[in-house]
Amino acid sequence: MYRSLKQTAISSLLGAALFIALPVNAAEKYGFGQTATPEQIAGWDIDIRPDGKGLPPGEGSVADGEVVYEQLCATCHGFFGEGEARWPVLAGGFGTLKDERPTKTVGSYWPYASTLYDYIRRAMPFTAPRSLTDEQTYQLTAYVLYLNEIVEDDFVLTNENLAQIEMPNKDGFFDDPRPDGHNKRCMKACDDPKTMTIQGTLSGITPVGHFIEGADAPAASHEGQEELEREKAHARKAALTGEDSSDIDDAKPVELSDKAVAGKEIFENACKVCHGSGIAGSPKLGDHEEWAPRVKQGISVLVGHAINGFSGSSGIMPPKGGRVDLSDQQVEEAVIYMVELSRVSK
Ligand code: HEC
Ligand code: HEC
């Protein structure tokens, strides 16, 4: 497997290099795939530069932004950008960057307003990225700037004036003057990988899977990796509890009810961002121990919590997971799916 991994890595690197060098019709050249249409490229090419290049024409006011923000963002980021529970803080933190625990926010840290437009459009709301219109994005960008006292309450943000906004920390970013920060990128006849050595790695962070035979690292996440991760999880659990749980997790999944089957897709689209991996203190899908005490409350309590939001001892569950467009019934189906998959109830 090691050899083939390495070859795949090298051939995909080569592929990338050739593609950059010769942007010709891919289908003709390689005999597979199809050339991306201008519309497809436009859907992907959405970055916005500090000088405003890439902004769609449009505008949005602070006042309109307040309405949209309170509807779509405040459950997590707080009404004043102060951040609910442990969700990110969006405002304030000025003068804290040299503290031991700085509060990095849009206002205290970010160098360009363009990043704010770009980021909100690309990634927020957390549970439904790319769902905002261009106009809403202008409104929200204006409002987050206002929360940071960078613009006044009557301000209207437009594609014309966004690049002129001066962020408080713009001078905190500068070109790295150290000589090794200015290496030239090598595109051809580069060093032979065989002659390269890894000087240091951070476990779980530095991808070394492509280099070291048998390495167990994120970059080796190919064939067999899931199995390996599962074995490691069992071993960790066994070391802590003395119990062998390997047969429990590997048992065949339970037969799902019709409602749970209907809930699966809703879960995938609206709940998995948190419950798939258990981020932000959410009970992880399929984790029997985390779900058992919750399920004891009864399904109707769980559904109520999922619809109306719930803040327990481990975190904040936003109403409908932040997806107010879902019907109560859809949320209920997703809950049933989660409960059944956690194998604690039928
Ligand atoms: C369900 C909770 C949730 C909702 C709702 C939400 N966000 Fe976020 N937001 C997050 C999380 C989590 C992050 C950090 C993501 C990361 O670092 O990968 C974040 C990051 C951000 C950041 C970057 C903060 C920083 O300093 O790095 C901005 C700006 C932001 N959100 C704006 C918004 C706006 C505007 C909305 C409403 C349209 C919104 N968010 C809705 C959870 C949420
Ligand atoms: C932004 C992250 C996030 C998303 C998205 C999310 N949840 Fe949650 N959910 C949480 C957190 C955090 C908790 C734990 C709250 C606690 O117990 O403190 C939770 C708890 C729950 C609970 C248990 C409530 C209880 O009483 O113990 C249910 C049921 C639930 N979520 C259903 C859903 C459903 C259904 C969806 C999708 C429609 C969803 N969640 C989407 C974060 C999220």
Termini Cα distance of the chain: 42
**pLDDT band, very low/low/confident/very high, at 345 (cuts 50, 70, 90):** very low
The model's confidence at residue 27, banded by pLDDT at 50, 70 and 90, is low
The answer to whether residue 15 scores a pLDDT higher than 50 is no
- Of 40-54, 62-76, 206-220, 268-282, the range with the lowest mean pLDDT is 206-220
Q: Domains for the chain: give ranges and CATH numbers.
A: 59-171 (1.10.760.10), 258-341 (1.10.760.10)
Which pLDDT belongs to residue 22? Answer: 45
How do residues 86-102 score in pLDDT, each as one tens digit? 899 999 999 999 999 99
Closest ligand to the CA of 119: 1
The CA 142 to ligand 1 mean position distance, Å, reads 15
Q: Mean pLDDT throughout 3-26?
A: 46
Residue of 149, 148, 125, 127 lying closest to 137 (CA atoms): 125
Q: Is the pLDDT of residue 113 over 90?
A: yes
Whole-Å CA distances, 31 to 26, 27, 35: 7, 5, 11
pLDDT in tens, 319-342: 999 888 899 999 999 999 999 988
With a cut of 70, say whether residue 211 has pLDDT above it. Answer: no
Please work out whether the CB of residue 318 comes within 6 Å of at least one atom of ligand 1: yes
Residue 218 above 80 pLDDT? Answer: no
pTM of the model: 0.58
Q: How confident is the model at residue 214 (pLDDT cuts 50, 70, 90)?
A: low
How many residues are recorded in the chain?
346
Among protein residues, the one whose CA lies closest to atom 30 of ligand 2: 306
State residue 24's pLDDT score.
56
Residues near ligand 2 (Cβ within 6 A): 126-127, 270-271, 273-275, 280-283, 294, 297, 302, 305-306, 310-318, 320-323, 326, 331, 334-335
Q: Is 73 in the pocket of ligand 1 (CB under 6 A)?
A: yes
Q: Residue 166 pLDDT > 50, yes or no?
A: yes
Q: Mapping DSSP to helix (H, G, I), strand (E, B) and coil, where does residue 57 land?
A: coil
Residues 192-221 have a mean pLDDT of: 61
Exposure of 204 in the CB half-sphere (CA atoms within 13 A): 1
| pLDDT (0 to 100) of residue 58 | 97
Task: Assess whether pLDDT exceeds 80 at residue 244.
Answer: no
196, two tokens: 């390269």
Q: Whose CA is nearest to atom 26 of ligand 1?
A: 105
Nearest ligand (C-alpha, residue 113): 1
Q: How far is the CA of 240 from the centre of ligand 2 (A)?
A: 27
Cα of 317 vs centre of ligand 2, distance in Å, is 4
Q: Which ligand is nearest to the CA of 269?
A: 2
Question: Could you say which DSSP state residue 188 is in?
Answer: S
Q: Report, as an integer, the average pLDDT of 169-193.
A: 84
CA distance 124 to 118: 10
Phi, psi of 312 (to 5 degrees): -100, -150
Taking the centre of ligand 1 as the mean of its atom positions, its distance from the CA of residue 91, in whole angstroms, is 12
More confident residue, 9 or 41: 41
Task: Tell me, using a 6 A CB cutoff, whether residue 76 lines ligand 1.
Answer: yes
Q: In the prediction, which pLDDT does 71 show?
A: 93
Average pLDDT over residues 2-13: 43
- The reply to whether ligand 1 has any atom less than 6 angstroms from the CB of 127 is yes
Q: Which two tokens mark 132?
A: 């905002």
Q: Is the CB of 78 under 6 A from ligand 1?
A: no
Closest CA to ligand 2's atom 13: 282
- Is residue 246 within 8 A of residue 281, CB to CB? The reply is no
- Per the prediction, the chain carries an average pLDDT of 83
Mean pLDDT, residues 5-22: 44
Give tens-digit pLDDT for 33-79.
888 999 999 888 999 999 999 999 999 999 999 999 999 999 999 99
CA distance 60 to 51: 18
